[in-house]
Structure 1
Amino acid sequence: MSGLDLGIVGNGTIAALINSRGDYQWSCLPRFDGEPVFNQLLGGGGTFSVWMEDLASRTQSYDHNTAILRTRLESRDGAIVEIVDFAPRFENQGRMFRPAALVRRFRVLAGTPRMRITLTPETDWGGRKLKPVRGVNHVRYVDEEISFRVTTDAPVSYILSGTSFILDREAAFILGADESLSDHPEVIARDWEERTRLYWKRWARSLAVPFEWQQAVIRAAITLKLCVYEETGGIVAALTTSVPEHAGSERNWDYRYCWIRDAYFTVTALNRLSGMGTLEHYMRWVRNIVAQSKGGHIQPVYGIGLEADLTEDFADQLPGYRGMGPVRRGNQAAEHVQHDVYGQVVLGVAQSFFDTRLMKRPGLTEFEQLEPVGERAFAVHDTPDAGIWEFRTIAHVHTSSAIMCWAACDRLAKIAAHLGLPARADYWRERAEIVHGTILEKAWNEEIGAFTAAFGGEDLDASVLLMAEIGFMAADDPRYVSTVQVINRDLREGDHVYRYKVTDDFGKPKTAFTACTFWLVDALYRIGETEEARRVFEALLAARNHLGLLSEDVDTDTGELWGNFPQTYCMVGIINSAALLSRPWSQAM
């Protein structure tokens, strides 16, 4: 198995990544972008690990339509242990109960397994181990910024000393707030497990899934839900930092923040499945961003708590994924100028003006708050920026950024018309037409037969495939059809697509960007190449790990996953492509 054969548990407050041996590889406290207490993914010593004597096989799966992870270990003599991991999430007394807590249950299914369960959390980004303070049935970890307690009915002495022992009964561990539990840990763990299972099954049942690829779509939707920090509505691009895009690339970024672009795609995908709660939470987050900007510059990325300062530095104590540093915390992209963000702000909330299912729909006040965003989009649509791929030393007038600026003006026109504001609708329609004309004139390269990455350029960029999806151009327009065909020919290797193939700040990319392959699948479908679209989509599904999850990149030669994990862009792609390609339910029987 590769290093990204991991499962995820979470509840909208915290999350953890667990490998198929049952070891915690990554988890941050007190939230997604916090201190990595369990950090083995990046070479640290912090883990909640499991060892079984004479381990012969291991399997891992999710309980059907839930975020409850089940790891099964079997020894050579036939002993079998099952580990159930989850983060509690369910309604309690009219509120969603989603504490910063993780639960582990060990069950003996056969034989007398000899086990070692070790708890070694770290702090200071791998700089030092957290000192345990033991109690009768718990261990406390208290530091300047982190405090939590692990309560268990397993022998605490064995856990702290790393002593192996015969596991002859069920054992439960509850990692949570530094306070006493109200009942026996096994009783609480069982109760929380059943209530959490019921929550996820009900949530999955509410999704409007396509007929085909239902399980792939539901797993993608649950994974996206686990990347939403529900307190604020912010959506992280991934749960990890510094998993490189390819071996030794130094393309190691911290993705535990909320890119407006990625969040827009996530919200759109869940909306497509009727998962409206995420949109309502995200609306609150975006409204705060818009209010902070006061009609001026909007960063492409913020912290999940609206933090604007994401200063990037290095955690030198951690060697990195497979020893491939550096380990970065923070992200310089917060300092970039990326004009596509204005379109994504408007696109991300546009549906809310029209959707009558929402408990609280926006109106005139919210529209007026968005208009300065549109003004900014119009003002910068033909000026250089860092682009969707966040070049650090390269600035062009990027076609994809200009298209998103058009989208801001176009959607504001539609919202104004819906609200009965004809003068404002005309105003924004006029601006959208100006931007549209500029893009057609300056981004189309007749000699190449494609819309290029930048105005007046010759290089290709897979992001222009999105122009049909957002309504900039009809899919049967000969220029769009030609663009799809050229990108399919020049940016595709096997069944995977590169963002671009030009040299950037770190050389030439060596892995394909999985989200771009999904964009190509959708584009092929739209131009009528349905069978090829389905074939490539099936190849993408085959590239997922053993639990149906995807990271950011894939090695086109080996099929190995690289990049931060799980990548929301990619899970979005599963949902969107399945919705397009699936046969309708009316043809199911």
Structure 2
Amino acid sequence: MHTLNLGLVGNCSISALIDPLGEVVWSCFPRFDGDPIFCSLLSHDGDAVASRQQGFYRIELVDCVRSEQHYLENTAVLVTRLFDTHGGAIEITDFCPRFLQFGRLFRPMMLVRMVKPLAGSPRIRIRIRPVWDYGATDSERTYGSHHIRYIGPNLVVRLTTNAPITAVAEELPFFLNDRIVLLLGPDESLQDDLRETANRFYHNTVEYWRDWVRHLAIPFEWQEAVIRAAIALKLNEFEDTGAIIAAMTTSIPEAPNTVRNWDYRYCWLRDAYFVLNTLNRLGQTTTLEHYLGYLLSVTANAHHHELQPVYGIDGRADLTERTFDTLSGYRGMGPVRVGNQAFVQRQNDVYGAAILAVAHAFFDKRLRRRGDVALFEQLEPLGERAVALYDQPDAGLWELRNHQRVHTFSAIMCWAACNRLAHIATHLGRTERAAYWHHHADTIKSVILRRGWNEPKQAFTAAFEGESLDASLLLIAELGFLPADDPRFVATVAAIERELRRGDFIFRYTEADDFGTPQTAFLVCTFWYINALTAMGRKEEARAHFERILALRNPLGLLSEDADTETGELWGNFVQTYSMAGIVQCAIRLSKHWDQAICESCP
């Protein structure tokens, strides 16, 4: 049975998810939103792919009895060790090359797997069976002396290896006496020695990631958790365009048998803001610079400056949703969806998300391209949309599909859009524009305080003149709408504790939606709650809570979108940027300062 005990490798062009036995269970080619040529994660007994035994990439140790798995420290290189009943053992090293070459980043469409014997006389079997069209079509194959070409309708990938080609092609067991390399990538001949090439790719990739980590401004405490989260966030950037995807997968259900199965391999402007905010806190600014180009491109193409909540990683607007019955889904829990119909929704908070993401560019002196008057003028039409829409119904950030309300969070994000434009204008010396945007921010704020606050309930509610609560309102203080000691914010947190808390978890809401009553907790809401506790001065309580939530991570330090509140089992798409960003944000806020911690550690 599949679980989300998976490792992520990637290079900001492609990625792969690998299970504890070294099977590649999910990998899309030629990019994140492409065809999952390895898709056994969404295959189950009886579906088309499973019945044909296709859609996976396995390096099997004959008579394997146990496995170990870890990341090479401070890298995106995954190491899997398998042990057999006879004292034999092997080590699989997986990575996607990423390093500087000829003055630019080398990040090819390539997965490298290196296998070496560790003990005894291990026998292995290599089984590579890519599929196409979401499991509908098997690969055709052609062979060379040291390669196999896997041919699909629109793409050909080539395996170059020093393993016996006959053994790989016919999936025959063989003794592993020496290190072998399996390089799966573009249909191009490898001109240099395979082993030397793999060694160079490996050492350069390891050095790249360790150098990247060395430049992170990490907190003293929870360093390993923060570093792993930061690497995972970076891997969710499609660097060619600057887009940031929400997760690597599609259709991992939020909860068992709920059909809450969505495709997250696209760029939500809201999610991207949270990722950028997190990486900026760590001192990693290049992702913002890449994203700025992506955002300006999609806004330039927006009709009358109306932004969608989500776009393709190439900036395309049409993400029409389809289902594929060739894959039965995670543990057989379909449907498997491709595309995301949220692209047609009105989510008014998106204008705030776009402006908040770009606002850093006006104040961060580390950036190569800093914000100027021209950029400010490109943002102002988005502010005008925020002014026009802040009190209009929308689907909200939780993307309700069949009804709309005037969501308080959406209104607050529209206020944030105007507020940040006012600060940017002041910074640029545009006094009249600063006054203009301050006026709109003040107007919106007064409406929110009047219509979003429920006096009998003593809380801000999910919608204007509403009764129900929404965990997104835990962000009121972080967004600067009210200070953390404001009685209305403190009371809202207390109300959320009473109504949305289940054990250690905070639900995003508990009322029934288009698909029934939520069954699992959306993890980022609990991180927002921990941050709110910290801001209100309840730091020791927040620290204890944070430690308990950290324990939910899989053995490799990764989180999905949701968790079962009783068992802690992970559900939802994986690796989820919201959740990984939550780890970093909480650790930064809760950690002791370096000098304090070092002094306390001395006898």
TM-score range for the pair, normalised by the shorter chain length: over 0.9
Contact kept? 1:290, 1:370, Cα under 8 Å: no
Over residues 152-195 of structure 1, what are the superposed CA-to-partner deviations in whole Å (9 max), with x where a residue is unaligned?
00011111211111111111011111011122222111110000
Partner of 2:569: 560
Partner of 1:448: 457
Name the aligned partner's letter for residue 21 of structure 1.
Answer: L
Over residues 429-461 of structure 1, what are the superposed CA-to-partner deviations in whole Å (9 max), with x where a residue is unaligned?
000000111100001111111100000000010
Partner of 1:570: 579
Name stretches of at least 5 consecutive residues in structure 1 with no aligned partner.
none
Name the aligned partner's letter for residue 84 of structure 2.
Answer: S
* Structure 1 residue corresponding to 2:206, chosen from 172, 193, 197: 197
Question: Are 2:96 and 1:99 aligned?
Answer: no
Name stretches of at least 5 consecutive residues in structure 2 with no aligned partner.
44-48, 599-603
Task: Work out the CA distance in 2 between the residues paired with 1:475 and 1:293.
Answer: 36
Measured after TM superposition, the shift of residue 278 of structure 1 is 0.4
Question: Secondary structure of 1:400's partner?
Answer: helix
Question: Are 2:555 and 1:536 aligned?
Answer: no
CA RMSD of aligned residues (A): 0.9
Task: Work out the CA distance in 2 between the residues paired with 1:352 and 1:78.
Answer: 57
Contact kept? 1:2, 1:560, Cα under 8 Å: no
Over residues 114-168 of structure 1, what are the superposed CA-to-partner deviations in whole Å (9 max), with x where a residue is unaligned?
1111000000110121111111100112333111111000011111211111111
Partner of 1:435: 444
Task: Work out the CA distance in 2 between the residues paired with 1:223 and 1:488.
Answer: 30
* Structure 2 residue corresponding to 1:511, chosen from 520, 528, 533: 520
Contact kept? 1:385, 1:396, Cα under 8 Å: yes
Partner of 1:242: 251
Measured after TM superposition, the shift of residue 107 of structure 1 is 0.9
Measured after TM superposition, the shift of residue 2 of structure 1 is 5.9
Measured after TM superposition, the shift of residue 586 of structure 1 is 1.6
Partner of 1:28: 28
Partner of 2:234: 225
Contact kept? 2:250, 2:264, Cα under 8 Å: yes
1:201-212 matched pairs, under 5 angstroms: 201-212=210-221
Question: Are 2:319 and 1:310 aligned?
Answer: yes
Question: Are 2:39 and 1:39 aligned?
Answer: yes
Measured after TM superposition, the shift of residue 201 of structure 1 is 0.2
Contact kept? 1:13, 1:231, Cα under 8 Å: yes
1:61-76 matched pairs, under 5 angstroms: 61-76=70-85
Task: Work out the CA distance in 2 between the residues paired with 1:435 and 1:215.
Answer: 42
Question: Are 2:25 and 1:16 aligned?
Answer: no
Contact kept? 1:173, 1:185, Cα under 8 Å: no
1:401-550 matched pairs, under 5 angstroms: 401-550=410-559
1:111-122 matched pairs, under 5 angstroms: 111-122=120-131
**Further displaced range: 124-133 or 558-567:** 124-133
Question: Secondary structure of 2:183's partner?
Answer: strand
Name the aligned partner's letter for residue 516 of structure 2.
Answer: G
Question: Secondary structure of 2:330's partner?
Answer: coil
Partner of 2:171: 162
**Further displaced range: 84-93 or 354-363:** 354-363
Name the aligned partner's letter for residue 17 of structure 2.
Answer: L
* Structure 1 residue corresponding to 2:134, chosen from 125, 129, 137: 125
Contact kept? 2:2, 2:41, Cα under 8 Å: no
Question: Are 2:339 and 1:327 aligned?
Answer: no
Partner of 2:390: 381
Name the aligned partner's letter for residue 175 of structure 2.
Answer: I
**Further displaced range: 167-176 or 320-329:** 167-176
Question: Secondary structure of 1:552's partner?
Answer: strand
Measured after TM superposition, the shift of residue 294 of structure 1 is 5.1
Task: Work out the CA distance in 1 between the residues paired with 2:443 and 2:134.
Answer: 50
Over residues 345-392 of structure 1, what are the superposed CA-to-partner deviations in whole Å (9 max), with x where a residue is unaligned?
000110111111111112011100000000000100001000000000
Contact kept? 1:385, 1:397, Cα under 8 Å: yes
**Further displaced range: 54-63 or 547-556:** 54-63
Contact kept? 1:233, 1:281, Cα under 8 Å: yes
TM-score w.r.t. structure 1 length? 0.99
* Structure 1 residue corresponding to 2:276, chosen from 261, 267, 287: 267
Question: Secondary structure of 1:564's partner?
Answer: strand
Task: Work out the CA distance in 2 between the residues paired with 1:81 and 1:489.
Answer: 52
Name the aligned partner's letter for residue 356 of structure 1.
Answer: K
Name the aligned partner's letter for residue 596 of structure 2.
Answer: Q
* Structure 1 residue corresponding to 2:351, chosen from 334, 337, 342: 342
Over residues 246-303 of structure 1, what are the superposed CA-to-partner deviations in whole Å (9 max), with x where a residue is unaligned?
1101000000000000000000000000000001001111111221125431000000
Contact kept? 1:27, 1:37, Cα under 8 Å: yes
Partner of 1:399: 408
Contact kept? 1:400, 1:464, Cα under 8 Å: yes
Question: Secondary structure of 1:181's partner?
Answer: coil
Name the aligned partner's letter for residue 543 of structure 1.
Answer: L
Task: Work out the CA distance in 2 between the residues paired with 1:314 and 1:419.
Answer: 49
Task: Work out the CA distance in 1 between the residues paired with 2:85 and 2:511.
Answer: 51
Task: Work out the CA distance in 2 between the residues paired with 1:89 and 1:255.
Answer: 24
Task: Work out the CA distance in 2 between the residues paired with 1:336 and 1:132.
Answer: 43
- Identical columns (%): 53
Measured after TM superposition, the shift of residue 80 of structure 1 is 1.0
Question: Are 2:132 and 1:137 aligned?
Answer: no
Contact kept? 1:315, 1:328, Cα under 8 Å: yes
Task: Work out the CA distance in 1 between the residues paired with 2:571 and 2:107.
Answer: 30
Partner of 2:46: none
Contact kept? 2:132, 2:153, Cα under 8 Å: no
Moved over 2 A (4+): none
Task: Work out the CA distance in 2 between the residues paired with 1:295 and 1:70.
Answer: 50
Task: Work out the CA distance in 2 between the residues paired with 1:253 and 1:294.
Answer: 26
Question: Secondary structure of 2:4's partner?
Answer: coil
Contact kept? 1:407, 1:470, Cα under 8 Å: yes
For these two proteins, the number of residue pairs brought into alignment is 589
